[in-house]
Amino acid sequence: MSSGSPDTELACTVRVVLPVHLRALAGVGREVQVDVRGPVTAGSVLSRLEEQYPMLRGTIRDHDTLRRRPFVRYFACEQDLSHDPDNTPLPDPVASGAEPLLIVGAMAGG
C-alpha cells in the first residue's frame, strides 16, 4: 500500500524498531508493530506507537509540541529521515511493512 494514499479503510502495519532504553521502558522486544490508518508518516506512526505504549510519550518527542527530541533520530531504508517534516510520507517499504522504521538514540557517548 502506498504511503501516499489518502484516507483508507485499511490499516498499514508498520514495523518500528526501538532503542534498548525504550524497549525496557515499554516492556517489549526489539521490534513492535503498529497499525496506521491514513498516510504513513513519522507523525502518524509515532502517534499510534504512543497510543499503544503510553509510557513512551515524551521520550521520543515532546509531549506538547510533538517535536523530535534532539538526540533521537528516525532512520529507514538506509536514510536519515529525522529532519523531514513529520507529515512527510515514509518510504513505501516502511508503509508496506517490508522495512522497519528505526528509532535511534544518536551516537552521543555516555
Partner 1 sequence: MASVRVLVGTHKGGFILTADGSRNEWEVSGPHFPGWDVYHMQASPVDPDRIWASMSGGWFGQVVQRSDDGGATWNPVGNRFAYDGEPGTHLFYDGTPRPFAFTRVWHLEPSLTDPDTVFAGVEDAALFRSTDGGQEWAELPALRQHRTAAQWQPGAGGMCLHTIILDPSRPERIYTAISAAGAFRSDDDGTSWTPINQGLRSEGIPDPAAEVGHCVHRLALHPSRPDTLFMQKHWDVMRTDDAGTTWREISGNLPTDFGFAIDVHAHEPDTVYVVPITSDYHHFPLDGRLQVWRSRTGGDEWEPLSRGLPQKDCYVNVLRDAMAVDSLDSCGVYFGTTGGQVYASSDAGDSWSAIARDLPAVLSVEVQTLA
Residues 29 to 68 in contact with partner 1, rule: CB under 8 A: 55, 57-60, 63-64
Residue 16 parent element (H or E):
strand 11-17
Question: Judged by CB under 8 A, does residue 21 bind partner 1?
Answer: yes
Cell numbers placing 80:
536519515
Q: Residue 39 forms beta bridges with which residues? A: none
The answer to whether 68 touches 86, Cβ cutoff 8 Å, is yes
Of 48 and 61, nearer to partner 1 (C-beta) is 61
* Distance from C-alpha of 68 to C-alpha of 37, rounded to nearest angstrom: 22
* Distance from C-alpha of 107 to C-alpha of 110, rounded to nearest angstrom: 9
Of 75 and 96, nearer to partner 1 (C-beta) is 75
**Judged by CB under 8 A, which of 25, 75, 97, 99 binds partner 1?**
25
Of 9 and 67, nearer to partner 1 (C-beta) is 67
What are the phi and psi torsion angles at 81 (to 5°)? -100, 10
Of 66 and 98, nearer to partner 1 (C-beta) is 66
Site of interaction with partner 1 (CB under 8 A):
19-22, 24-25, 55, 57-60, 63-64, 69, 71-72, 105-106, 108, 110
